[in-house]
């Protein structure tokens, strides 16, 4: 079990009291080293990071100056306690996990559905699930789309793959110049498998894809589908560049759902898809550095807030999914360095009851996740923060030179539709002149 640092004794006291009272907001009692700039300040910090717990405050490079003075300054920056995308290097022995969707099947502004981005210090990046609404969270992270070409699906509910089309097409348009590679489980019948689902998803996109031919770099508009046996017991489904990913079954709705284990550089990361608590997770997730597992909203909240019938709430909230108290039981068996709960609407009036129920069965390190929560994991430290994102973000430049579209690939309009054009030649010609001159090209209007 790794050392988890605490800023000051007063924060530790707060955390311990919180645990005793059962109202801790996803933050285990932790031990932090005093930071040079923070005497007397940690209680506010503790409250701010109630979603996941501040674990190990490291000064970022921008504020090293203030850090070294050991005191507050009216002109020097203090250490940030949030993650600003595209401002931090990832160490060679470090992993970074970012929650890009933590909520329910019905996405809402605060929470997209299941999606997790795992970044490794060797440069590899993996997306686990791409649920409804999550593609915009990924966009906010300012990562070139060429690096976002590997997606692993736990199962085929839309809250776990509903934004695959958005990443597929939007990513290609914004700089992914290679196939999107997708891994997902088979089903009990071929029609319930990932291959069938994604072949038909691509068919559903026929109009979209045909309409882009001859207009954009075509290389990203392809999908490599890797379907693996959902019954595989910790079987290897991916092995490249020192990274091994295995899958094992989950118990959820129908046969087919799975969970994943990633092993790299001595680290073990586990992503659990939707499931009733199962013996395979208890076995194969043991000792994970970070273990994600679903944790559904409480049955009373399903009835009161989600308007389920009591019968439906009991069936869905405890039998199809994992209830909070059962989540805690699973984590007390596998004992991860950090347990991460997701799949609930995390609000001011739902968090305490979920935490209370988890704490009846588990007292270890815990993050009750929310979108944009970030974990930096090294051998001896796990730092939990929130990302602060820029809503005006644009896609980063492509990592390779764009390929010119082949205009001969355009599919023409019918004469009837083409004949409906208003005459805009004079209006548009100045723009053609401007761009032709600026870039030394000779484009003509259609
Ligand atoms: Zn599901
Ligand atoms: Zn789900």
* Closest-approaching ligand to the CA atom of 294: 2
CA of 275 to the centre of ligand 2 (A): 9
* Closest-approaching ligand to the CA atom of 256: 1
First to last CA, the chain: 66
Query: Which of these ranges, 26-35, 52-61, 149-158, 411-420, has the smallest mean pLDDT?
Result: 26-35
> What's the whole-number average pLDDT of the chain?
88
CA of 436 to the centre of ligand 2 (A): 50
Amino acid 72: pLDDT: 82
Average pLDDT of the segment spanning 349-359:
97
Amino acid 179: pLDDT: 97
From the number of C-beta atoms within 10 Å of its C-beta (0-12, 13-18, 19+), residue 44 rates as: exposed
pLDDT tens-digit series, residues 53-111:
444 444 444 444 445 556 788 999 888 899 999 999 999 999 999 999 999 999 999 99
CA of 343 to the centre of ligand 1 (A): 10
Residue 252 DSSP class:
B
Q: CA angle, 387 as apex, 138 and 349 as ends, to 5°?
A: 100
Average pLDDT of the segment spanning 379-392:
97
**E strand or H helix at 301:** helix 299-304
CA of 81 to the centre of ligand 2 (A): 30
* Closest-approaching ligand to the CA atom of 131: 2
Strands 235-240 and 243-249: antiparallel
From the number of C-beta atoms within 10 Å of its C-beta (0-12, 13-18, 19+), residue 305 rates as: middle
* Closest-approaching ligand to the CA atom of 343: 2
* Closest-approaching ligand to the CA atom of 253: 1
CA of 127 to the centre of ligand 2 (A): 16
CA of 182 to the centre of ligand 2 (A): 18
CA of 3 to the centre of ligand 1 (A): 34
Amino acid 248: pLDDT: 98
Report whether 339 contacts 356 (CB < 8 A): no
- Is residue 165 over pLDDT 60? yes
Of 28, 9, 8, which Cα lies nearest the Cα of 18?
Answer: 28
CA of 280 to the centre of ligand 2 (A): 19
Enter the pTM of the model: 0.85
Amino acid 251: pLDDT: 98
CA of 10 to the centre of ligand 1 (A): 41
Distance of alpha carbon 69 from alpha carbon 55, whole angstroms: 22
Amino acid 71: pLDDT: 73
CA of 107 to the centre of ligand 2 (A): 11
Report whether 217 contacts 413 (CB < 8 A): no
CA of 249 to the centre of ligand 1 (A): 13
**E strand or H helix at 152:** strand 150-152
CA of 295 to the centre of ligand 1 (A): 12
pLDDT tens-digit series, residues 116-143:
999 999 999 999 999 999 999 999 999 9
pLDDT tens-digit series, residues 261-315:
999 999 999 999 999 999 999 999 999 999 999 999 999 999 999 999 999 999 9
Q: Assign 52 a pLDDT band (cuts: 50, 70, 90).
A: very low
CA of 158 to the centre of ligand 1 (A): 8
Torsion angles phi and psi, residue 59, rounded to 5: -65, 140
* Token digits of residue 243: 């990274």
């Amino acid at each position: 079990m790794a050392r988890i640092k605490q800023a000051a004794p007063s924060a530790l006291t707060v955390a311990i009291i919180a645990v005793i009272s059962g109202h801790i907001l996803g933050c285990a009692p932790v031990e932090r080293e005093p930071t040079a700039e923070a005497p007397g300040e940690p209680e506010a910090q503790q409250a701010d990071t109630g979603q996941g717990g501040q674990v190990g405050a490291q000064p970022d490079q921008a504020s090293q100056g203030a850090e070294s003075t050991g005191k507050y300054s009216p002109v020097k920056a203090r250490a940030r306690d949030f993650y600003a995308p595209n401002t931090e290097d990832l160490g060679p022995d470090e992993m970074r996990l970012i929650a890009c969707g933590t909520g329910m099947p019905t996405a809402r502004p605060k929470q997209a559905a299941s999606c997790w981005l795992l970044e490794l210090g060797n440069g590899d990046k993996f997306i686990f699930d791409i649920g409804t609404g999550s593609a915009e969270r990924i966009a906010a992270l300012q990562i070139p789309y060429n690096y976002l070409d590997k997606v692993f699906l736990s199962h085929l509910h839309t809250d776990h793959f509903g934004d695959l089309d958005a990443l597929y097409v939007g990513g290609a348009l914004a700089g992914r110049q290679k196939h999107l590679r997708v891994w997902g489980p088979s089903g009990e019948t071929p029609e319930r498998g990932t291959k069938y689902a994604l072949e038909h998803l691509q068919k559903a996109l026929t109009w979209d894809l045909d309409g882009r031919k001859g207009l954009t770099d075509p290389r990203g508009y392809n999908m490599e589908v890797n379907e693996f046996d959902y019954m595989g017991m910790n079987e290897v489904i991916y092995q490249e560049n020192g990274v091994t990913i295995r899958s094992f079954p989950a118990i959820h709705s129908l046969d087919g759902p799975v969970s994943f284990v990633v092993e790299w550089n001595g680290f073990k990361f586990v992503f659990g898809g939707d499931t009733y608590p199962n013996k395979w997770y208890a076995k194969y997730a043991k000792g994970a550095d970070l273990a994600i597992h679903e944790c559904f909203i409480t049955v009373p909240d399903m009835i009161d807030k989600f308007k389920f019938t009591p019968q439906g709430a009991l069936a869905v909230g405890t039998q199809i999914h994992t209830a909070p108290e059962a989540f805690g039981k699973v984590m007390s068996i596998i004992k991860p360095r950090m347990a991460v709960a997701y799949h609930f609407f995390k609000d001011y009036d739902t968090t305490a009851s979920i935490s209370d129920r988890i704490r009846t069965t588990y007292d270890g390190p815990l993050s009750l996740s929310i979108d944009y929560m970030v974990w930096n994991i090294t051998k001896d430290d796990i730092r939990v923060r929130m990302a602060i994102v820029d809503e005006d973000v644009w896609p980063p430049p492509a990592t390779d030179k764009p390929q010119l579209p082949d205009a001969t690939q355009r599919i023409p309009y019918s004469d009837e539709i083409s004949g409906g054009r208003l005459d805009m030649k004079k209006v548009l010609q100045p723009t053609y002149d401007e761009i032709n001159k600026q870039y030394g090209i000779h484009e003509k209007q259609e």
